Structure 1
Amino acid sequence: MNFLAHLYLSGNNKELMIGNFIADHVKGRNFSHFSEEIQKGITLHRQIDSFTDSHEIVRKSKHRLHERYRHYDGVIIDIFYDHFLAKNWKNYSEIPLGVYVNSVYQLLNENIKILPEKTQEMLPYMIQYNWLYNYQFAKGIQEVLNGMNRRTNGKSQMNLATEDLLNHYSDFEKDFTSFFKELKEFASQYQLTV
């Protein structure tokens, strides 16, 4: 799952959201300098990633892309799934997506000093181009994939993946809807145990 899903799966716990958001920029197991709730968010992020990577529905989605993108298929599926979450946001939240993402940007800006350096560098671009909101549009997904492709010096060819999204749109959306129901349950149960 990508940024929007990780944030959403943190519920209304702001520190959990911060931890879940920054986890990809926190290496190893030594993150005790963060508050207990942020640590839980980092751990939740990693559990969500493990659950996602091993799930049969996600594997089916990745299989549609594997021949063309190889080990980048998982990254692309994470972005596709955030697209379906954003596009169908009203099915998952009573808070309008625009209001939600602005509150997330505000939360992250208010806590900028505790965010890892890589997150601090990324955040202004995320806000400027409003990634979280624009995930709902094919154009927004294309811009994200273009950026990812640039970061791999064109090796990933992720900039072509919007074509695959559109060619298999209903299949990917069906996969997401079924999988996300299970992932929400997993994340809720996990939070009760930590």
Structure 2
Amino acid sequence: MNYLAHAHLSFNEPDILLGNMISDFVKGKQKFTYSEEIQKGIVLHRAIDQFTDEHAVTAEAKKVFKPAIGLYAGAFIDVVYDHFLALDTTERTEGEWKQFSSDTYAVLQQYTYVPERFARMLTYMSSQDWLFNYRYRWGIQNTFKGLSYRATYLNDESATAAYTAFEHNYEHLQACYQQFFPLLKAFAWEQYLYLCKK
């Protein structure tokens, strides 16, 4: 899953939120330089990613993007799931999503000991309000361009092809999200409760 989902599935716990958001920037034994609560967020992030990557619904959704971007389809699906989550009024209203985005940046900015790459990214994330703007198709288009720019074997044409596939399969992808996200949320909650008992 992408940043909005990881933030949302941190269940309003600041240390869990930080761990969930920095996980991809923390390698190997670096995890143990953080507090136990932040480590729990890192573990939760990885459990969420594994559940998502291995789920049959995600495999079906990836088929939309594989002709255009091949093995990178999973990363693009994560962004697509965030788009539909940002529009999901069964989780939060539009106003609540706006407040949630602002609150998330504020919490994350309170931490001084974070990976340098994450700190740089957070500056852009907050100033450009990535979390809230996932709800807009132009936000998704911009994110696809960013993914393609950072990927070794993708380019502007890849981003355009992926966005075209997104538009042409919008309702199908939305149905995949609607089927998958309640399952993910239940899984993440169970994992969160398990980690909190440790």
Taking structure 2 as the reference length, the TM-score comes to 0.92
C-alpha distance after superposition, 1:59-93 (max 9, x if no partner): 000012112211110000000000000012x2113
- Unmatched runs of 5 consecutive residues or more in structure 2: none
Moved more, 122-131 or 132-141: 122-131
Tell me, in whole angstroms, the C-alpha distance in 1 between the residues paired with 2:161 and 2:129: 21
What's the secondary structure of 2:33's corresponding residue? coil
The whole-number CA distance in structure 1 between the counterparts of 2:60 and 2:101 is: 30
Distance 1:24 1:160 in 2: 26
| CA positional deviation for 1:127 | 1.3
SS in 2 for 1:92: coil
- The answer to whether the Cα contact below 8 Å between 1:7 and 1:21 also exists between their aligned partners in 2 is yes
CA-to-aligned-CA distance 1:44-73 (integer Å, 9 cap, x gap): 000001101100000000012112211110
Tell me: CA distance 1:159–1:26, structure 2 relative to 1, closer, same or farther (3 Å): farther
Q: CA deviation at 1:154?
A: 6.6
Q: Which residue matches 1:145?
A: 144
Residues 86 and 135, structure 1, Cα contact 8 Å, conserved in 2: yes
**Paired residues of 1:138 and 1:162 also in contact (CA < 8 A):** no
| Distance in 2 between residues matched to 1:153 and 1:63, nearest whole Å | 21
Across the aligned residues of Structure 1 and Structure 2, the Cα RMSD in angstroms comes to 1.4
Q: 2:130 maps to what in 1?
A: 131
| Residues 5 and 82 in structure 1, CA contact (< 8 A), matched pair in contact too | yes
Farther off after superposition, 43-52 or 61-70? 61-70
State the partner residue of 1:178.
179
Contact 1:145 1:161 in 2 (8 A): yes
Q: Return 5+ residue gaps in structure 1 as ranges.
A: none
The alignment of Structure 1 onto Structure 2 pairs a total of residues equal to 192
Amino acid corresponding to residue 149 of structure 2 in structure 1? R
Could you tell me which residue of structure 2 aligns to residue 35 of structure 1?
Answer: 35
SS of the equivalent of 1:96 reads: helix
Deviation at 1:153, TM superposition (A): 6.0
TM-score by length of structure 1 reads 0.94
